[in-house]
Structure 1
């Protein structure tokens, strides 16, 4: 496990928690792939920095507060896997039925791969 890559995961998560999309993007490879799985089903996928940025900007508007806590990071095959606890407060009523002010609490893992010193893929599983 490279300390540099673990530090990069922490910088990305810290920027996410602060709604700092520019700092998040600085950690990502231009061809970054993002996938989110919920209960084993793919619920979201982006390809490339511009798609990721668009999704990150849209997601930031959905929450008045959000916090990911990295509990542990381990190496698994070609990825670093972070165990993450997530807490967020919805800022407006959402199509999935969540109402403004509701709190979401989720535990899961995020799998990170790296290319050219940047995060090349993120796979979130909860």
Structure 2
């Protein structure tokens, strides 16, 4: 897949993420998508299929008042885009035994998008 197309698709996904546009995020997701959140060496979340992924991305819509994923660095490979990301979000709710409503959350992590048939087939968030 060409870099230009992969960049357009991932940029559209991130724009939709920042705007809480779940349908926009799903626009270029393959029906057999696999999503993983990886902390250190441990897979903390693994989802298979577009429906399971949609259910997961619906949840943070109510968790944050505002959120922004910003690409710091982007690398391209064969059918793959690696984004180093700066994330910040303002909580809309209190987290039990954690941050409170209106607190700013900041994270830096890597997101790897892999493609199949012109759609995102794999997303790995690596902390």
TM-score calculated relative to the size of structure 2: 0.91
Give the paired residue count: 126
1:81: which partner in 2? Answer: 82
Partner-residue secondary structure (3-state), 1:122: strand
Q: Please give the secondary structure, in 1, of the residue aligned with 2:94.
A: coil
Do the aligned partners of 1:68 and 1:84 also contact (CA within 8 Å) in 2? Answer: yes
Q: Structure 1: which 4+ aligned runs deviate by more than 3 Å? A: none
What runs of 5+ residues in structure 2 fail to find an aligned partner? none
Match of 2:32 in 1: 31
Q: Which residue of 2 aligns with 1:66?
A: 67
Give the match's secondary structure for 1:32.
strand
Give the alignment of 1:1-126 within 5 angstroms. Answer: 2-76=3-77, 79-95=80-96, 97-126=98-127
Distance 1:24 1:96, change over 3 A: farther
Are 1:40 and 1:125, in contact at CA under 8 Å, matched by a contact in 2?
A: no
**CA apart distance, 1:59:** 1.5
TM-score normalised to structure 1 length: 0.92
Unaligned runs of 5+ in 1: none
